[in-house]
Structures are given as C-alpha cells and as structure tokens.
Homo-oligomer: A and B are copies of this chain.
Amino acid sequence: MDAMADLEHQRQLERGLAGSAVEGVAASLRARGERMTQPRRAVVAALAGSREHLSAEEILVDASKAYPGVNRSTIYRALETLADLGVVQHIHSGRAATLYHLTTEQGPHAHATCDTCGRVIDLPGDVLATAAARLRADEGFVLDPGHVALSGQCRDCAS
C-alpha cells in the first residue's frame, strides 16, 4: 500500500500551507459532480504556494514536484476548470504567456507589466476606478480591471 501511504503523506504536506485551499476546492468540485484529482491538487497547491502570478509553464514545473509526470495539457485543463469554479483567474500580459493566480489570495487588484523587463506589478484594486466610472457612463462599457495588465515602464527601467 505504498501508493496510499504516499497519498496520505502528500495530503499532510498540503495542510502546511496550501491545505485549506485544496480542501475548499475539493468540496466545490464535488458539489458540481467533478472530481478532485492529483493533478488538480498539485495545481492548486502550486498557486497557493506562491505569492507570484504564475505562468502555465511555471505551474507545470511546480506541480511536477508534487505529481511527477503531469502533462502540460492537464495543467491547462485544470486551470480552465478551476476558472469556471471561480477559484482561479488569469491575466493577459502583453505578448507574454498568460498568468494565473488564486482569486482567494488577495482582494481584487489590477496589474501592470514592464515592457522592458517583463516584471508584473500588483496594483491597488481601485487604480482604475475613475476610468471604470467614465467608461461605464460614456460608453456603457463595463470594465474588468484585473483581466489585462497595463503596460509601461517600471521604476527601474524608466530612464
């Protein structure tokens, strides 16, 4: 019963940090008739274990530690499922890869990417409040402030 022992061991590890996130997600999944699998566990743990916004590639690497051999497409499918569930959000950042993060990790916030160094900066949730109000009033456009990263030059790269 090595497999079972390993599984239990892994679950214990998760309780350290990402455990609560994993358990909550498991419940939400089952409530929809979907399943909490090892790949999904590993993806949630990867996201919960980093304060950064991660690319699919980074999540793959991280999840591979907890669950060796996970497939790249499984990561994408897991992220999609978790997004449907409302657990994960993604950010489009210029032409770089999409970044993913847990919705629970921080309150709603916006992002900016530096065109030069590629760094992603978290911004207060209300930086776009004025713009959002104007867009709504003038164009009827309902802004989703966190979905794309603003672009420009970060402090270090602005010369």
Contact = CB atoms under 8 A, between A and B. Distances in A.
Given A130-B131, A131-B128, A135-B127, A147 B152 contact: yes
Interface of A: 92, 94-95, 98, 112, 114-115, 121, 123, 127-128, 130-131, 134-135, 139-144, 147-155, 158
A60 to B, nearest CB: 19
B131 A154 contact: no
Nearest to A134: B127
Per DSSP, chain A at the interface is mixed
B131 A150 contact: yes
A141 B154 contact: yes
Given A92-B92, A92-B95, A144 B130 contact: no
Contacts of A135: 112, 123, 127, 150, 152
A121 B121 CA distance: 26
**Which of A95, A152, A155 is the most central at the interface, judged by chain B CB atoms within 10 Å of its CB?**
A152
